[in-house]
């Protein structure tokens, strides 16, 4: 059976911003777009590194987050990968070298968590073990 965790109050998340939160031992990112909130695991599916801390710094605009390590980009509404491993720290590398940077890892989407707003709070669903669903 799934469990729910409160991530924070809705008014703690500014519209159009990406916020990092740690809840119940989970490193998450929260993107608010108007009255809709999207929550993802703060772990890039390429190498499992933070999407908000790294040499390229936090890069988020128009609902898209870019990994600060190797520039993979993800839609925060769906988790869809929009660009896979295109460089390092915000700088692009030639297309021919991208497979080297990818280290053999195949393109993957960002892991999203079901989120809803209840009584002014942002709530996410995690697995019965408290782990984000695989
Ligand atoms: S760790 Fe995110 S693109 Fe490599």
- Name, in order, each residue with C-beta under 8 angstroms of 88's C-beta and a sequence gap of 6 or more: 55, 56, 69, 70, 71, 101
**The ligand 1 atom nearest the CA atom of 48:** 1
CATH of the domain spanning 3-126, picked from 2.102.10.10, 3.90.950.20, 3.40.710.10, 3.40.220.10: 2.102.10.10
pLDDT at 99: 84
Query: Is it the case that residue 38 has pLDDT exceeding 90?
Result: yes
Q: Locate 76 and state its tokens.
A: 């925060």
Query: Is it the case that residue 125 has pLDDT exceeding 90?
Result: no
Domain ranges of the chain: 3-126
Distances (CA, A) of 33 to 2, 16, 105: 25, 5, 31
Residue nearest to atom 3 of ligand 1 (CA): 70
- Site to probe by mutation for ligand 1, drawn from 29, 53, 57, 69 as the one with most ligand atoms within 8 Å of Cβ, is 69
Query: Is it the case that residue 39 has pLDDT exceeding 70?
Result: yes
Cα 47 to averaged position of ligand 1 atoms, centre (Å)? 5
What confidence tier does 131 reach under pLDDT thresholds 50, 70, 90?
low
DSSP string, 76-124: TTT--EEE---EETTEE--GGGHHHHHTTPPP----EE-EEEETTEEEE
Q: What is the mean pLDDT of residues 18-46?
A: 94
**Exposed/middle/buried for residue 120 (C-beta within 10 Å: 0-12, 13-18, 19+):** exposed
């Amino acid at each position: 059976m799934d469990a729910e965790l409160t991530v924070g109050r809705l008014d703690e998340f500014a519209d159009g911003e990406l916020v990092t939160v740690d809840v119940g031992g989970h490193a998450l990112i929260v993107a608010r777009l108007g009255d809709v909130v999207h929550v993802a695991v703060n772990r890039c599916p390429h190498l499992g590194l933070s999407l908000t801390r790294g040499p390229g710094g936090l890069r988020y605009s128009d609902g898209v987050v870019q990994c600060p390590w190797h520039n993979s980009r993800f839609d925060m509404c769906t988790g869809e990968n929009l660009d896979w491993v295109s460089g390092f720290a915000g700088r692009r590398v030639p297309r021919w070298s991208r497979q080297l940077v990818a280290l053999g890892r195949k393109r993957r989407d960002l892991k999203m968590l079901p989120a809803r707003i209840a009584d002014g709070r942002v709530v996410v669903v995690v697995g019965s073990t408290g782990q984000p669903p695989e």
